[in-house]
Amino acid sequence: METSCIVLAGGKSLRLGSDKVLETIGNRSLLQLVLSCVLPLSREVIIVTASEPSIFESIDHSKLKVVTDIYPGKGPLGGIHTGLATSASFYNLVVASDMPFLNQALLRYMLQVSADFDLVVPRIGNFVEPLHAVYTKRCLAPMEEMLKQDKLMVNQLFSSVKTRYVEIEEIERFDPRHLSFFNVNTKADLKRARELARGCER
């Protein structure tokens, strides 16, 4: 099935103190690491940014499209909504731009099990990761309603659509250390990511 990927890159990077998508791990930026994982899975990749797409204009790839939030200031829910509204595909893989250890096999599996669902999302105990999930276009209408009501918690969408949780046993078949969900928010996170990458502790 044809799939697009939505990469959320609208965060302000306040805790890191710099634009984190440009921070490097090894010889590649966070954004490059994410793109290298999702491009083979996607007919197009939509990078959703808050307001300043200029830092992405140097990326030259025919599959890439950079868009700004339709509803500014609405956080990840607004970014996912913008990506879905822009996407040419019914099925859409959504990831954050600060996840350096995405696992292509796990992402592919999530796409494979998404056929009968509106939303496929990983769940480990009480932890659910909505920024590493598959959303269909059927999520657009309930998202629009949430945004109009200023209900911005993505998790509130789950009960409004047909949701499939990918449980820990499924996740650990592909990613036993759960590094897929590691994201870089602080300098300490960045340091650990670089250490993980150097040690090939994947």
**Average pLDDT, 10 consecutive residues per value, the chain (202 residues):** 92 56 85 93 93 60 87 94 97 96 97 97 96 98 97 96 98 97 92 86 44
Element (H, E) at 78: helix 75-86
What is residue 33's predicted lDDT score, i.e. its pLDDT? 93
pLDDT score recorded for residue 27: 86
- Indicate whether this model's pTM tops 0.85: yes
**pLDDT of 54:** 56
Please report the pLDDT score of residue 11 as a whole number. Answer: 63
CA 83 to CA 69: how far, in whole Å? 8
Residue 124: the pLDDT is: 96
In terms of phi and psi (left: phi > 0; alpha: psi -120 to 50; beta: otherwise), the region of 177 is alpha
- The token pair at 116 is 């009968």
State how far the alpha carbon of 17 is from the alpha carbons of 26, 27, 129, in Å: 20, 20, 24
